Chain A
Amino acid sequence: MTDGERASLGDPFFELVLARGRFPGTTAELLAVLNESNGAPEGLPEQMVFVVAEAGQIPFNEANSRLPRSVRYVVTRGRSANGPTVLVSTRPPATDPTAFLQVAGWDSRNKVFHFYERAGDAWLWEGSSWHAFDDAARGKGPFDSHVNGTLVMKELRLPWLHWNSTAQEIPLESFPPDHPVRTDPLFAARQSADILERRVVRPAVQRWTRARLDRLLGAPGGIAAPRELLRHLLAATSVNIVSSEERSRGSKPEFGLPATFFFDVESIVNQLALDITGLGQAFQVRRPDYESAVAALGLVLKRSDAGFQQAGDAFFAWPVSERAFEDCVVVGELTRRGILSPGFALGLLMVDAWNPTDSAARESLLQYVPAGTTPAGQIEAETRRNINIAAAGLPPEAPERIAADYLTLDEAAMRTRAAAELDAFVAKVRARLATSQGVLDFMRVADWRRRDFRKRKIAEFGLTLPFSNIDENAPPLAVTRDAEVVER
């Protein structure tokens, strides 16, 4: 590390620990070093512990005794007024010098996260948030999962699939009698994942997104790589995992599927404020249809290396990828700052809106975004112009034509049309979900998106999502505007 790099590290982990010549070898030692500063103005006395375990809802027994429980902790430290600024990712026991030990620290001076990892007796600085976009570091080290340079909580929303939460505790009974969590004070202090979501991860994503845009928009001459920014609108730079609130082995005769499985509710409705109501009850399935589909696809949780296999869905029903919150926040910020008009963003999101996480059609529009440095105020205009030029002479189903047709409308007309199209789509989905074949078709789509998820580097644990009897390399599936499921 150069002196310049050292000088650029202004996060509290560096300042309270490494800069003081302390190189803790375990989580317990790290927390003890932080505790030494608790009484100081710069101290971080508030600690919270969150626990995630893919096998956390699988009761321990002799038959599954070889199954790793894959339990990890996120320990946060902060001062109450400012929220957590140091996040420790590790596994139990806290005294184990061989356990992985990673730290993310928010540097309020430079407005970046710094990422660190202990390697043997040393600590490595693995980069800052900006390295996520640096060609030399992109996809490497911490940036294989922190692809946008900020915190990641894959299962961000209720019911927080594998986290200890108000929706479902991770019980001690899931662990072998000699497992370290049974006596670990950190595990005993675990809090609900809703706190991690609300108090830690969402604010962190928003904080970093604003800092990133502040810097990008402040650059002389304009934004250096507009496509990097609009990728958040037109592609899925990452995904989150969401599921039904209902347990897969629950008893409700009918239950709801996550709305974000069907379209990008977070960007379109929450960020861009398209007025669509009634979504909460729109996507109901009857349990017999759901269970038939689970059986037909042979859903199974498995971990072959541990000889573990359990028939059925995950603990909560219908786990599936959704558009990443970090992408949606960028969309919201770009429109709020006037870089993109809400109508422009909405018009492009409506291209193949029925495939929120994996639309080649929508992503193909990236080619019309200026490639080089462009003044922020011209990005939308140039993209509009490029799309309009490309659309001429193309058939109506071409993404360019669909986008161009939308972009000719003023915002009010566009909102009316988008709402009408989505209302019609939701009605068709609802009709299909009322049939067993429709439920099976949509579960095939969910399965495809799970297979697609497993290709991403954030898919680190085999038990995250169920497998099916469909070949992992089977052709991808798409949903049409008529709510039909087709091969691409």
Chain B
Amino acid sequence: MALQRFDPPGFLDDFGPAQRDAWHQFISDALNSAQEGSGDPFDSPRAQFFNAAKVEAGPNPAFEDVKWTAFPRIVQISSGSDMERWRSADASRDVQDEYCEWSVTRQSGTNKITRVTFTCEGPEYWRFLAATDPTQTLALYKQHVDASATQADLFTPSGAYILRNRFNNSTSNGAMHLVQRNNTLGAEIEIAGAATVTRLRADGSPMVDTLELIRCGRYGAEQRHSDPFIGARVNFHARSKADVTVANPVGIYFGGLDTQEWETPDGSDPAAFWKYTRGSPERPVRAVIEVPSDRNYVLGDVLIDGRAIQFGGQIADRIQMTIRALATRIGQSTAQPVRGCVGDGAGAAGGPGGPLSVGAVLSAGDTRGRL
């Protein structure tokens, strides 16, 4: 039996019944679009990608949690030292492009870090929530970011939600959800879909190189840890002649924080300072790390590898991100590899690597009317 309903990311319970139905449809539509592909003859249709709400996953599906490091690779490879890369990554949300963004709170006077908030919630969810329940949206900002947040901080006078509002546009004034332009649920779904296309090189040999695949399939950003690796893992399953999809609930999740070789002034376990504040325990989408107020020290007094925490990026180094892929009917697919790359075909319909319809659905701004 096919999946009855896609759940919200992390099984979040912000939605009412109508919103949940709409979210299900939204994800299902996005998966359908990802299955259809861009229209390019070397990209469409994607026969090994499927929507689990339309097609039954089958018996004994294999799940894989694809994991990568939250610290942005693009910053890592363009920096010559730890200090340089931590400083760069903490400077702007726009470089935090591994589906994990963070905001740092510092102690006035000492400038020591007291708290770092991490989020991996896609913007689509928040645009939808804001469009359908502004009151709940404001309440969540007040709860998780700043109790002083007002309607005017989050919405334009005409009622449109401001994605990059003052409580969600920097690395120091709060982070409610992802805003870096490539950090979207749509991107995740599109990568998974596009990467199911197995390919042959011009000489007939199978295309297996992680970068070659992402360039040929034109999905994602090749300088990241995440996109090429997600694509490589999905393509691996596809080359194993499996059908592949993103497991319910579709989302990006925290896969854990490693606190080995952290030292606290009082010897307490720093893992206890890390709390998931949204999402289910198994599918967390928001995390906060801070030292309890009854201690006589703050997060900036904690050492990682002998160095005091001065940047959120030092913590991001230790965070794993994950999505869950589902592979089924392994060895049974009859889809044939494609000999060619997206954009190779003259006069191909559709634009390769263009924005996924998830974005189009939301940008249409009609979600309020659909409820």
Residue numbers of A with Cβ under 8 A of B are 59, 80-83, 158, 166-169, 171-174, 191-192, 194-195, 198-199, 202-203, 206-207, 245, 247, 250, 256, 259, 265, 269-270, 273, 275-282, 332-333, 336
Contact = CB atoms under 8 A, between A and B. Distances in A.
A158 B73 contact: yes
B256 interface: yes
A199 B229 contact: no
Interface string B59-99: 00000000111000100111111111100000000000000
B210 A59 contact: no
Interface stretch (B9-17, B153-161, B201-209): B201-209
16 contacts: A81-B269, A83-B258, A171-B208, A171-B239, A173-B206, A199-B258, A199-B260, A203-B260, A259-B80, A265-B80, A277-B81, A279-B80, A279-B84, A280-B77, A280-B79, A280-B80
B225 interface: yes
A169 B208 contact: yes
B264 interface: no
Contacts of B229: 166, 169, 192
B144 interface: no
Contacts of B78: 280-281
B228 interface: yes
Contacts of B205: 59, 173
Contacts of A194: 68-69, 225
Interface residues of B, number: 40
A265 B210 contact: no
B306 A332 contact: yes
Most buried by A among B233, B258, B318: B258
B236 interface: yes
Given A158-B73, A332-B306, A169 B232 contact: yes
Given A168-B210, A169-B208, A169-B236, A198 B317 contact: yes
B236 A280 contact: no
A198 B258 contact: yes
Max chain A Cβ within 10 angstroms of own Cβ: one of B77, B228, B236: B77
Contact of B208 (A173, A199, A203): A173
Contacts, number: 109
A167 B240 CA distance: 21
B271 A265 contact: no
B67 A198 contact: no
Nearest to B236: A169
B261 interface: yes
- Which 9 residue pairs of A and B lie closest in terms of their CB atoms, listed nearest first? A279-B80, A171-B208, A203-B260, A166-B229, A269-B81, A280-B79, A280-B80, A280-B78, A83-B260
Interface in B183-221: 205-206, 208-211
Contacts of B318: 198
Interface in B255-300: 256, 258, 260-261, 269, 271
B45 to A, nearest CB: 25
B83 A273 contact: yes
Contacts of B173: none
Given A192-B68, A194-B225, A280-B79, A169 B210 contact: yes
A275 B80 CA distance: 11
B80 A278 contact: yes
A285 to B, nearest CB: 15
B320 interface: yes
Nearest to A203: B260
Contacts of B366: none
Contacts of A206: 261, 305-306
Contact of A280 (B69, B84, B228): B84
Contacts of B206: 171, 173
